[in-house]
């Protein structure tokens, strides 16, 4: 980057937070994916919307690519600066500006870490349900940009259900306010939703107003053991069909169980082919009734064993096991292709069966982990990117997984986004008119295509 442009950036944010050393640039060259990396020319860490505005004006005038970034925990390649240029990192914009217990809302800056937000809410008896497994490190701005999900979403919904208002800086530098602090708002188009899940391609989010709910009074966790993965998948559909919507229904396969037990022994049933972890929450009386109904349904659905956590400590142990699932997966091979497809919940068992067929046909073992209650699985294939032949075959096997999900009425991504990982499949999953409409919206808001270029759709379509 030219010294003049660097000096201008330093004038905007200060010298200490314009990073250009090789070590710093390398730190911001990758995210949570296993196969993507690209060096930016400079990293800038602003602290105000006004600074973001000035950075974008400078970048837009000089047609410099800008990649918005939070903690970089995303696993779709969305925060990779594939075109170089500027990484605009929002982690220093980390203030919780307001928690309103009466209105059940909170307003935060994008760099607030989700776990810090959760701890602040808990002190006031409040609850923000979206809980991606990266909650210990991910930023709220990133979760909004990706429309993140998590285990709680089966009952409570994903991030977009909680976004009430946004402050967004456009590519031109204009600071725009959308939505507000009311639960109901039917004022024109839902533009706040346009930016929620936009993966940083339309604007830089600098302030977020979120809906909250009171903390549930009680909860109960159950663990069900199955000798057949398809039977376990069908049990999920049976629970939902029984009239109960648990807070969480998580699926863990035998491979992940054994890996977790190796990492942190806790007496897991390592001979089980599948494990379901289920939580019911709400009022104490309702939880007791729902938990009994869930246990009965699990037994009727073919569970070999159903255990109800005897107290909060045992329940926490079960959920700690589930949260270790991604570490167990990504530590299993040099390169892990871990995806994020979602299918209709009544098709979950059929999809699990198709994954078994793909594994047998391709010769690749496919691990299963995911938010089964909303039909969202994270199938993983183990390979080595340095072995070009094996890696190419692994990608072909993953392509079959996408095709299987789409054939059942599913989608390419339930919560991780498209980014770089899935853009080559987008044309198969979207109406071409809808895709072209997205591209036109991008061109309207970002005519010079400086914001996170090269993401979501293949570039030749721009």
If 0-12 CB within 10 Å is exposed, 13-18 middle and 19+ buried, where does residue 16 land? exposed
Same domain, 84 and 101: no
Positive or negative: CA dihedral 374, 71, 33, 411? positive
What percent of the chain lies above the pLDDT cut of 70? 99
Please choose, from the candidates 286, 265, 269, the residue with its C-alpha nearest in 3D space to the C-alpha of residue 277: 269
What pLDDT shows up at residue 459?
Answer: 78
Residue range(s) defining the domain that contains residue 167: 96-214
Domain CATH code at residue 45: 3.30.43.10
Nearest CA among 42, 36, 44 for reference residue 74: 36
Cβ–Cβ under 8 Å, residues 84 and 37: no
In this prediction, residue 263 carries a pLDDT of 84
Q: Does residue 101 share a domain with residue 192?
A: yes
Average pLDDT rounded to a whole number, residues 160-170: 98
> How far apart (Å, rounded) are the C-alpha atoms in residues 275 and 232?
7
Mean pLDDT of 8-34: 95
Q: Is 354 in the same domain as 313?
A: no
Q: List pLDDT tens digits, range 401-451.
A: 999 999 999 999 999 999 999 999 999 999 999 999 999 999 999 999 999
In this structure, are 139 and 232 located in the same domain?
A: no
Give me the pLDDT at residue 462, please: 38
User: Residue 331 pLDDT > 50, yes or no?
Assistant: yes
What pLDDT does 267 receive?
A: 87
- CB contact at 8 A, 194 and 147: no
Residue 454 in this model has a pLDDT that exceeds 70: yes
For residues 164 and 256, state if they share a domain: no
pLDDT at 386 over 80: yes
Domain containing 377 — which CATH number?
A: 3.30.70.2740
Is 311 in the same domain as 224? yes
Residues 85 and 102 in one domain: no
pLDDT reported for residue 320 = 87
Clarify whether residues 304 and 346 are in a common domain: no
Domain boundary among 149, 184, 214: 214
Same domain, 232 and 305: yes
The DSSP call for residue 340 is: -
Q: What is the CATH number of the domain that holds 300?
A: 3.30.70.3450
**What total of structural domains would you count in the chain?**
5
Q: pLDDT, tens digit, for every residue of 175-227?
A: 999 999 999 999 999 999 999 999 999 999 999 999 999 999 999 999 999 99
Average pLDDT value over all residues in the chain:
95
Task: Choose between 458 and 48: higher pLDDT.
Answer: 48
Per residue in 342-382, pLDDT (tens digit) is 999 999 999 999 999 999 999 999 998 999 999 999 999 99
Between 95 and 421, residue with greater pLDDT: 95
Residues of the chain above pLDDT 90, percent: 89
Q: Is the pLDDT at 129 greater than 60, yes or no?
A: yes
Q: Are residues 263 and 304 in the same domain?
A: yes
Q: Please determine, for residue 246, whether its predicted confidence score (pLDDT) is greater than 90.
A: yes
pLDDT top residue among 23 and 267: 23
One domain, residues 156 and 119: yes
What lies within 8 Å, CB to CB, of 165 at 6+ separation is 107, 177, 178, 179, 180, 181, 192, 207, 208, 209
pTM over 0.75: yes
Residue 323: per-residue pLDDT: 84
Q: List, in sequence order, the alpha helices (H) in 242-333.
A: 254-263, 284-300, 312-323, 325-330
Among 188, 214, 240, residue at a domain's last position: 214
Q: What is the average pLDDT across 251-261? A: 92
**pLDDT reported for residue 325:** 83
CA distance linking residue 17 with residue 14, whole number of Å: 6
Work out whether strand 248-253 and strand 369-371 pair parallel, antiparallel, or are unpaired: antiparallel
The pLDDT of residue 461 is 41
Same-domain status, 409 and 430: no
Residue 316: the pLDDT is: 92
CATH number, residue 131: 3.30.465.10
């Amino acid at each position: 980057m030219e010294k003049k442009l660097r000096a201008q950036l330093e004038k905007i944010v200060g010298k200490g937070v314009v990073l250009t050393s090789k070590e710093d640039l390398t730190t911001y060259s990758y995210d949570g994916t296993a196969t993507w990396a690209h060096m930016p020319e400079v990293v800038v860490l602003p602290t105000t919307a006004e600074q973001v505005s000035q950075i974008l004006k400078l970048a837009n005038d000089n047609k410099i690519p800008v990649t918005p970034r939070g903690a970089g925990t995303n696993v779709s390649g969305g925060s990779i600066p594939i075109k170089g240029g500027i990484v605009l990192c929002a982690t220093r914009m980390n203030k919780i500006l307001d928690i309103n217990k009466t209105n059940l809302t909170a307003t935060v800056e994008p760099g607030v870490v989700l776990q810090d937000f959760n701890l602040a809410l808990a002190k006031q008896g409040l609850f923000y349900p979206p809980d991606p497994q990266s909650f210990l490190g991910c930023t709220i701005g990133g979760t909004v940009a990706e429309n993140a999900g998590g285990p709680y979403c089966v009952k409570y919904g994903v991030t977009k259900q909680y976004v009430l208002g946004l402050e967004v800086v456009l590519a031109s530098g204009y600071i725009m306010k959308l939505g507000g602090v009311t639960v109901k708002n039917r004022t024109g188009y839902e533009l706040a939703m346009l930016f929620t899940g936009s993966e940083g391609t339309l604007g830089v989010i600098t302030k977020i107003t979120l809906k909250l709910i009171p903390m549930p009074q009680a909860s109960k966790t159950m663990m069900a053991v199955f000798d057949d993965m398809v039977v376990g998948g069908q049990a999920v559909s049976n629970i939902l069909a029984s009239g109960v919507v648990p807070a969480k229904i998580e699926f863990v396969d035998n491979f992940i169980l054994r890996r977790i037990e190796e990492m942190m022994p806790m007496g897991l049933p390592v001979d089980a082919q599948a494990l379901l972890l289920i939580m019911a929450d709400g009022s104490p009386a309702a939880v007791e009734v729902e938990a009994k109904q869930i246990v009965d349904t699990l037994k009727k659905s073919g569970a070999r064993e159903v255990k109800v956590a005897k107290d909060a400590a045992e329940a926490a142990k079960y959920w700690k096991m589930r949260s270790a699932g991604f570490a167990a997966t990504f530590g299993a091979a040099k390169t892990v292709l871990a995806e994020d497809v979602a299918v209709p919940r009544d098709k979950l068992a059929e999809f699990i069966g198709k994954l078994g067929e793909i594994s047998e046909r391709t010769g690749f073992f496919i691990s299963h982990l995911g938010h089964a209650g909303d039909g969202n699985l994270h199938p993983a294939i183990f390979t080595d990117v340095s072995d070009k032949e094996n890696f190419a075959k692994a990608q072909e096997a993953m392509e079959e997984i996408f095709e299987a999900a789409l054939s059942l009425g599913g989608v390419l991504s339930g919560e991780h986004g498209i980014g770089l990982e899935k853009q080559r499949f987008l044309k198969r999953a979207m109406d071409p008119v809808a895709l072209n409409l997205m591209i036109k919206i991008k061109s309207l808001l970002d005519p010079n295509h400086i914001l996170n270029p090269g993401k979501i759709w293949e570039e030749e379509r721009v």
